[in-house]
């Protein structure tokens, strides 16, 4: 009966930064029940933690993988609230909404925080981070978003890590939308804490996030935690002691994530997934340009996770209608999040392929025709006049 229900269901394709389209086998993994203290479940959690360290390039380099119940923001708050001491100060490099969220979390927690602000269409400048650290010796921690999905920009976290290490500060990376699809090495890139989520590039389902933490840095945070449930050090100690979560874990999401990790390995690992996402991105960019759309970011700053497109210069374009028509056709895109400028976003990650991108482009083409919108109309008119 369950198989028949799965066969009948036709999910919309999610061109978003997460939650994402997942494989049928990942969804199927959630159809079984396991006790949170069951030996099999504890073994699955142990294997998840091991595999996450392999993906981070640090299976034997003094790091720990710590799953945390809740969304990615819960894990972000866990790191910020648990690892910055009472007399510490956090520098946040901000070039989008998710950098601002880190700053906001710190302010709510009454942690002293400084924001180094960059325009949303510019990457964080490592040398400006270095200058800020030199000016303000009270700063103890530095945070940055790897892929800022406000726009799709990729920040140079390796270069920033080198700067932070030279300044002898601790380094925290929000890799929510990049981990599992962008090759990296936490030790080589001087990352002390990295956060990502189950429902991003590893292509699991929502329910938990995880922290990869340098063991020596984590062990030094005794007494820092400002929360009981988000205490990162206590979460790690509990998992080390008996393999169990301190509070009820999202069992089904963890089992699905384990299946997603197996599928990532079968695909060929991070490099192979990156190649598929790059191909998705290239297919999308070529097709959208052919339709007359323009990207918000300069090509050299654009990652292959999600792309922001400017609204067309056509008075008939209304995003709400555009979005609704595409959704009715079975394709879900994302509204823009840029503070200045009208954009919408299309993701290239999740269990989607170039053929799905081509189907989306066909749906966009027919939707524009139904709306009477030509993204290249004004541009062509101006060229004719000139």
Domain finish residue from 225, 241, 266: 266
Same domain, 258 and 276: no
Residue 309 parent element (H or E): strand 306-310
Q: What is the pLDDT of residue 2?
A: 46
- Any domain includes 86: yes
Report the CATH number at residue 314: 3.90.1150.10
CATH code, 148: 3.40.640.10
DSSP-derived secondary structure for 5-26: HHHH--PPEE-SSSS----HHH
User: What is the model's pLDDT at position 77?
Assistant: 98
Task: Decide if 315 is inside a domain.
Answer: yes
- Segments of the chain with pLDDT less than 50: 1-8, 379-386
Identify whether 63 is part of a domain: yes
> Which residues, 6 or more positions from 131, have their beta carbon under 8 angstroms from its beta carbon?
none
Domain check: are 256 and 275 in the same one? no
pLDDT at 384: 32
pLDDT of residue 249: 97
**Is 161 found in the same domain as 43?**
yes
Q: In what order do the strands lie in the sheet with 306-310?
A: 306-310, 343-347, 334-335
**Of 233, 266, 299, which residue sits at a domain end?**
266
Please report the pLDDT score of residue 214 as a whole number: 98
- Per-residue pLDDT tens digits for 58-103: 998 899 999 999 999 999 999 999 999 999 999 999 999 999 999 9
Specify the pLDDT at position 377: 67
Q: Determine the Cα–Cα distance for residues 198 and 20; give it in Å rounded to an integer.
A: 10
Closest C-alpha to 73, from 21, 108, 30, 111: 108
Assigned domain for 382 exists: no
What domain range is 359 assigned to? 269-373
**Does residue 347 share a domain with residue 210?**
no
Residues 261 and 307 in one domain: no
Whether residue 311 sits in one domain with residue 207:
no
User: Is residue 222 domain-shared with residue 283, that is, in the same domain?
Assistant: no
Please spell the DSSP secondary structure of 286-336, one letter per residue. Answer: HHHHHHT--BSS-GGGB-SSEEEEEPPS-TT--HHHHHHHHHHTTEE-EE-
Work out how many domains the chain is built from and give that number.
2
Q: Would you state the pLDDT for residue 338?
A: 86
Closest by Cα among 52, 41, 339 to 211: 52
Q: 0.95 exceeded by the pTM?
A: no
Asked if residue 18 belongs to a domain, the reply is no
pLDDT, residue 9, reads: 55
Residues 245 and 281 in one domain: no
Q: What pLDDT was estimated at residue 4? A: 42
Q: Give the end of a domain, one of 240, 266, 292.
A: 266
């Amino acid at each position: 009966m369950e198989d028949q229900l799965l066969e009948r269901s036709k999910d919309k394709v999610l061109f978003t930064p997460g939650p994402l389209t997942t494989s049928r086998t990942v969804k199927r993994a959630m159809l079984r029940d396991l006790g949170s203290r069951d030996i099999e479940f504890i073994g699955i959690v142990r294997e998840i933690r091991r595999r996450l360290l392999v993906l981070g390039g640090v299976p034997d380099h003094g790091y720990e993988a710590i799953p945390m119940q809740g969304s990615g923001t819960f894990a972000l708050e866990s790191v910020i609230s648990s690892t910055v001491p009472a007399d510490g100060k956090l520098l946040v490099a901000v070039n989008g909404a998710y950098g601002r969220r880190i700053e906001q979390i710190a302010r709510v927690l009454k942690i002293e925080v400084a924001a180094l602000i960059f325009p949303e269409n510019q990457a964080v400048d490592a040398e400006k981070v270095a200058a800020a650290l030199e000016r303000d010796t009270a700063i103890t921690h530095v945070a940055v978003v790897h892929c800022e999905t406000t726009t799709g920009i990729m920040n140079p976290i390796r270069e920033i890590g080198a700067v932070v290490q030279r300044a002898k500060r601790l380094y925290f990376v929000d890799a929510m939308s990049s981990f599992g699809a962008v090759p990296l090495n936490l030790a080589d890139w001087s990352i002390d804490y990295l956060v990502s989520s189950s429902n991003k590039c590893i292509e699991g389902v929502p329910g938990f996030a995880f922290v990869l933490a340098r063991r020596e840095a984590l062990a030094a945070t005794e007494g820092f935690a400002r929360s009981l449930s988000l205490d990162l050090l206590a979460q790690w100690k509990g998992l080390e002691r008996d393999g169990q979560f301190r509070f009820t874990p999202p069992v089904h999401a963890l089992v699905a994530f384990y299946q997603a990790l197996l599928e990532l390995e079968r695909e060929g690992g991070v490099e192979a997934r990156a190649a598929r996402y790059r191909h998705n991105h290239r297919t999308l960019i070529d097709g959208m340009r052919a339709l007359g759309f323009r990207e918000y970011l300069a090509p050299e700053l654009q990652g292959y996770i999600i792309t922001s497109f400017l609204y067309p210069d056509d008075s008939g374009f209304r995003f709400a209608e555009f979005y609704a028509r595409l959704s009715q056709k079975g394709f879900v895109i994302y509204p823009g999040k840029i503070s200045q400028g009208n954009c919408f976003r299309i993701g290239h990650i999740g269990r989607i392929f170039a053929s799905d991108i081509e189907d989306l482009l066909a749906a966009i083409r027919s939707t524009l025709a139904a709306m009477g919108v030509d993204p290249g109309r004004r541009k062509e008119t101006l060229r004719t006049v000139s």
